Chain A
């Protein structure tokens, strides 16, 4: 209906590699729904002169959203969309007469044909962008979908607002965009062309924030958008290989749980580059895992891929492995940073525990059944236990419990050596944020650990229990 086919809304695999972690609802869709609810409940509202909207949080596909009118007076409307008791969208509007437009936005002359895939623009390429985009072919469907909002704003303004999400999600900033908000004044626009004119008026590189002046279809104003930091690309096999001694890890048969991206990806590459065999697992990222395996094999190293879900029976999933692993790297995790209405949610802790405690112990026991002489495992803990970032209470709690579990596994399970590290913030999909935050690169973090794993596995005498550095 709007022409915004940005994959963050539609593609689970792509969305997984963004800050959202899963597909999100178009903010504009939720906004139009809110306006429709307001207009349906209060048909007496009449005319809106202006609209100020803030997209505070991402609404996930499947969330239960609630529309709430917070204030309605003769001249002011305030409303919001909430989910889990948290404000997702904040709206304030002025009621009153619509005035004639006072300006004509200067833009480059051409009508931008609607891309079928979002444009991928670097921040430096966004400055100076301008143009015109036609309303989506399906704009009439907006009127049918949101009839009360269409009556409140007029179908043309509805289409213009709808087009703004295509502008942000497909054109500028495009692929790596986040729609932050909009400030609109409704006008009596003498130009009846069904198009939205836009011009980038500001790019703040500190925040990757983009402001676009927009005009058309009976509105004018400013759209606020952000250009997300793109998904982190890990170093290639070609760049990793020179850092590894030939056959440095040749004795390793390493099961890398969560090996399709991030720390798992770099670990699999390191082991493979050092002559070891990497068995990388995925739960949902099959395409990423297979792409990684192809890269490793094309380089000439050994790699297998298998589906593995830490929430399912470990032995059943691993029993057919041709070569029982002697090294285990455990990077399985649910989405770590998510909104929540309170400082502690039991169900959030339970989910983390399922991954970080039950899943890890099950894996250890299954690996020992396959290789009774013993295994060496890496369990990534986190500096969040000490630093306590916001919204990460349950994550820190579960990882702290994991450290205790690791110590007792090594104490009571014969032949198991476990290495834990409180890892710093590492640049991966899980730590991706709206703006760049200082992070360590995965390579500098994992290379010493992989070497430590290898040396620990080869050490004689009393098995090491839990070695912790950092």
Chain B
């Protein structure tokens, strides 16, 4: 999977969860940049990403996520293993 493809799917997923239209996200986007991305939303986004990409993250992996790019890379790493 390429960065762009994962990012596009995540953007759609996050937009649906947060009920935000025309969401423009990048690899450097952080939770603070997105309205409504609070701690509860973060849990739901991670769970939705797991379901969408058919994977499961460890507690340590989740704690290491600082940017959307980190999540993209993590998903790609899981898809390769």
CB within 8 A of A87: which of B31, B36, B39, B47? B36
CA distance A57 to B40 in the complex (A): 9
A142-150, A432-440, A441-449: which lies at the interface? A432-440
Measured between C-beta atoms, what is the minimum distance from A437 to chain B in Å?
A: 7
**Nearest-CB residue, chain B, relative to A180:** B40
Is A151 at the interface (CB under 8 A from chain B)? no
12 A-B residue pairings within 8 Å (CB atoms): A54-B40, A57-B38, A78-B19, A180-B40, A206-B58, A206-B59, A207-B43, A207-B46, A390-B32, A433-B39, A434-B43, A437-B63
Chain B 30-70 interface mask (CB, 8 Å, partner A; 1/0)? 01100010111101001100000000011100110000000
**Nearest-CB residue, chain A, relative to B32:** A390
CA distance A239 to B39 in the complex (A): 35
**B40 A434 Cβ-Cβ under 8 A:** yes
Measured between C-beta atoms, what is the minimum distance from A146 to chain B in Å?
A: 25
Measured between C-beta atoms, what is the minimum distance from A427 to chain B in Å?
A: 15
Is A26 at the interface (CB under 8 A from chain B)? no
Name the B residues within 8 Å of A56 (CB-CB).
36, 38, 40-41
**A209 B43 Cβ-Cβ under 8 A:** yes
CA distance A92 to B17 in the complex (A): 12
Most chain A beta-carbon contacts within 10 A, residue among B39, B46, B47: B39
Is A90 at the interface (CB under 8 A from chain B)? yes
Measured between C-beta atoms, what is the minimum distance from A392 to chain B in Å?
A: 11
CA distance A54 to B16 in the complex (A): 14
Name the A residues within 8 Å of B47 (CB-CB).
204, 207
**B40 A390 Cβ-Cβ under 8 A:** no
- Which residues of A approach B to under 8 Å, CB–CB? 54-57, 78, 87, 90, 92, 180-181, 204, 206-207, 209, 390, 433-435, 437-438
Q: Is the interface of B mostly helix, strand, loop or mixed?
A: helix
Name the B residues within 8 Å of A209 (CB-CB).
43
**B59 A434 Cβ-Cβ under 8 A:** no
Measured between C-beta atoms, what is the minimum distance from B49 to chain A in Å?
A: 13
- Other 18 A-B pairs with CB < 8 A, given A57-B38, A181-B40, A206-B62: A54-B40, A56-B36, A56-B40, A56-B41, A90-B36, A92-B19, A180-B40, A204-B47, A206-B58, A206-B59, A207-B43, A207-B46, A209-B43, A390-B31, A434-B43, A435-B39, A435-B43, A437-B63
Q: What's the count of A-B pairs with C-beta under 8 Å?
A: 33
Name the A residues within 8 Å of B19 (CB-CB).
78, 90, 92
Name the A residues within 8 Å of B38 (CB-CB).
56-57
**Nearest-CB residue, chain B, relative to A71:** B19
**Nearest-CB residue, chain B, relative to A438:** B63
CA distance A57 to B41 in the complex (A): 11
**Nearest-CB residue, chain A, relative to B56:** A206
**Nearest-CB residue, chain A, relative to B62:** A206
Q: Which of B14-31 contact A (CB under 8 A)?
A: 19, 31
**Nearest-CB residue, chain A, relative to B61:** A206
CA distance A397 to B4 in the complex (A): 38
Name the A residues within 8 Å of B58 (CB-CB).
206
Name the B residues within 8 Å of A204 (CB-CB).
47
CA distance A399 to B36 in the complex (A): 28
CA distance A206 to B47 in the complex (A): 11
Name the A residues within 8 Å of B63 (CB-CB).
437-438
Measured between C-beta atoms, what is the minimum distance from B5 to chain A in Å?
A: 26
Most chain B beta-carbon contacts within 10 A, residue among A56, A90, A206, A209: A206
Measured between C-beta atoms, what is the minimum distance from B73 to chain A in Å?
A: 19
Name the A residues within 8 Å of B31 (CB-CB).
390
Name the B residues within 8 Å of A207 (CB-CB).
43, 46-47
CA distance A457 to B72 in the complex (A): 53
CA distance A90 to B31 in the complex (A): 18
CA distance A309 to B30 in the complex (A): 39
Most chain B beta-carbon contacts within 10 A, residue among A180, A207, A433, A434: A207
Name the A residues within 8 Å of B43 (CB-CB).
207, 209, 434-435
CA distance A90 to B43 in the complex (A): 16
Name the B residues within 8 Å of A78 (CB-CB).
19
**B62 A434 Cβ-Cβ under 8 A:** no
CA distance A433 to B62 in the complex (A): 15
**Nearest-CB residue, chain B, relative to A57:** B38
Most chain A beta-carbon contacts within 10 A, residue among B32, B38, B40, B47: B40
Name the A residues within 8 Å of B46 (CB-CB).
207
CA distance A351 to B9 in the complex (A): 43
Name the A residues within 8 Å of B39 (CB-CB).
433-435
CA distance A78 to B62 in the complex (A): 31
